[in-house]
Amino acid sequence: MTAAPRILPMGDRAVLVEVGALEEVLALARRLEASRPEGVIDLVPAARTVLVRVDPAVLSLASARSWVRGDRADAAPAAPAPRDVVDLDVVYDGADLAGAAALLGISPEALVHRHTSAQWTVAFTGFAPGFGYLVSPDWPFDVPRLESPRTRVPAGSVGLAGAFSGAYPRETPGGWRLIGTTGAALWDPDADSPALLVPGMSVRFRAVRASPGVGDRPGSGRSGTVRPSGVSPSFGSTPSFGSSPGFGNTPGSGSTRGIRIVAPGLLATVQDRGREGAASVGVSRSGALDRTALGIANRLVGNARDAAGIEVTMGGFRAVAECDLWFAVAGAWGPLRLAGRAIDPYEAHAWYAGDELQLDWFAHGARAYLAVRGGVEAPLVLGSRSTDRLAGLGPEALRAGECLTVGAGAADAVPVVPPSPWGVPHDDEFEVELAPGPRADWFTDAARATLFDSVWTVTADADRVGIRLDGPVLERARGGELPSEGMVPGALQVPPSGRPTILLADGPVTGGYPVIAVVTDASLDLLAQARPGTRLRFRHARVSG
């Protein structure tokens, strides 16, 4: 008999349901999908778990737990699994090939032989769009991840972690041991089926001597062959993967309503409230890191709260209006100038054609939000205009000379209110609420106490994907590797090095490092304003349900 699933906490908006084997995961995921109630945002199957993320305003965590524990008699029958076979050409030139072989006690040549002779199956997807976790009954090895993950893994890298093999669809951070390189286009948002590898698909690796061009779809005669044995799985026919006219125009291209970027500063991206409900195919929430600040800026110019604006990181941003506009800036603080005159944030301003707006380098906070009445127009990808830096979805980071189109409509009039009080944000030290994580028992009692008793420092490795912290080592109570499982924004992953990383909105949707705790949803906006050197103190959150 199959044991009842364990329901583990995952912050204040999710639970992690753990079962004994991958086959049970797939059965559980089918059952939950068939009876999915309103308020469930994401169901993310992984190696031994299914992540259930909810909107607590619609479905409480207590109700979610009751639903997960419900009667299985109405479980939906298994859907037919796609059985396409994909041959991936691989040059076995990975930086970790010799080291991985040594860990397994075999030669690099023997490792390549075992890897290419195995028949692999896509068990589930995650980490990033197009990243498939491949398993095989012919692969007996368990390969430990790197003790400290790389900050950048090149696109096309083929790697090993635990019992899995996989290939990175784009340059991302990662802790897998790299054994080779493929040129296949694993994720192509312009294709009819953006994900090349989908659950149930069979995969074979073929050793080649010369590397094919990264980004080629198999079947082109350069990087491999797709041999369908049934109907090709479809990601969907959503037209929003296409281009939106008027976005990204160069000066003089005919855009008459918009703004022209003079200097983007350190980083400027288009962001709205993000894309929900696509984590099961490896797509993170993304969206503005400080949702409150974007919402305030939108409200000040009469936009809907989910209108797209510009997220400016650390300042240095300059833009010129191509027509008469209204705008507001909220979030991080630094000198603001319009046509050379100092102006205040948190206030709507008229922006006349030809005038330059400057957001100087921020003195406090890390991210400011520029909202323009009517909202920034950009292509809709999975329901959002947001730039996802990890997945490569949405518009590219803004560049000098680029023109953005501004929408013609707004939800409300520009509000006539007296200037609301605002102050310079304090960013030297933040107090952040933590809710329970699913793997707190992987750490010693002393480590769990240290997490809350210590002062942690934000390192220079901080971006939209996550924040690495410097501080004491969190000692584990148990060793071994954790099978990959669903992640949420705010998860505190602790690699073997013992120092945690906080995942943010562009972070991976699955991961293999244990999560000791999770930043509450309300505290995530605060972390958007953390700069390198900012000190963090954690305190226990009260989580209902």
pTM to 2 decimal places: 0.80
Q: Are 457 and 522 in contact (CB under 8 A)?
A: no
Angle at 148 between CA 143 and CA 149, to 5 degrees: 80
Q: How far apart are CA 72 and CA 214, in angstroms?
A: 45
Q: Which position has the higher pLDDT, 431 or 72?
A: 431
Stated as kind and residue range, the H or E segment containing 199 is: none
pLDDT score of 83 = 54
For 120-169, the DSSP string reads EEEEEE-SSTT-EEEE-TT----BPPPSS-EEEE-TTEEEEEBTEEEE-S
Q: Has residue 483 got a pLDDT over 60?
A: yes
Per-range mean pLDDT, top range of 107-121, 222-236, 250-264: 107-121
Chain position carrying tokens 């349900």: 545
pLDDT score of 77 = 45
Q: How far is CA 448 from CA 227, 265, 439, in A?
A: 51, 39, 11
Chain position carrying tokens 């080592």: 473
Q: How far is CA 204 from CA 84, 344, 401, in A?
A: 11, 59, 45
Per residue in 291-300, pLDDT (tens digit) is: 999 999 999 9
pLDDT category of residue 154 using cuts at 50, 70 and 90: very high
Q: How far apart are CA 275 and CA 288, in angstroms?
A: 11
Helix and strand totals (H; E) in the chain = 7, 34
Q: Which position has the higher pLDDT, 530 or 389?
A: 530
Q: How far apart are CA 476 and CA 442, in angstroms?
A: 6
Q: Has residue 60 got a pLDDT over 90?
A: yes
Overall average pLDDT of the 377-393 stretch: 90
Q: How far apart are CA 464 and CA 200, in angstroms?
A: 32
pLDDT category of residue 283 using cuts at 50, 70 and 90: confident
Q: How far apart are CA 168 and CA 319, in angstroms?
A: 36
Q: How far is CA 417 from CA 201, 302, 420, 435, 458, in A?
A: 58, 12, 8, 38, 37
Q: What is the dihedral of CA 188, 190, 192, 196, to 10 degrees?
A: 0
Name the nearest CA neighbour of 179 among 86, 282, 102: 102
Chain position carrying tokens 């400080």: 290
The residues, ordered by sequence, that sit 6+ positions from 502 with a Cβ below 8 Å of its Cβ are: 466, 467, 469, 490, 491, 492, 519, 527
Both structure tokens of 385: 């205009």
pLDDT score of 417 = 63
| Per-residue 3-state assignment (H helix, E strand, C coil) for 229-292 | CCCCCCCCCCHHHCCCCCCCECCCCCCCCEEEEEECCCEEEEECCCCCCCHHHCCCCCCCCCHH
pLDDT score of 216 = 55
Of the chain, the percentage scoring pLDDT greater than 70 comes to 85
Q: Has residue 243 got a pLDDT over 50?
A: no
Q: How far apart are CA 488 and CA 462, in angstroms?
A: 17
Name the nearest CA neighbour of 545 among 15, 147, 179: 15
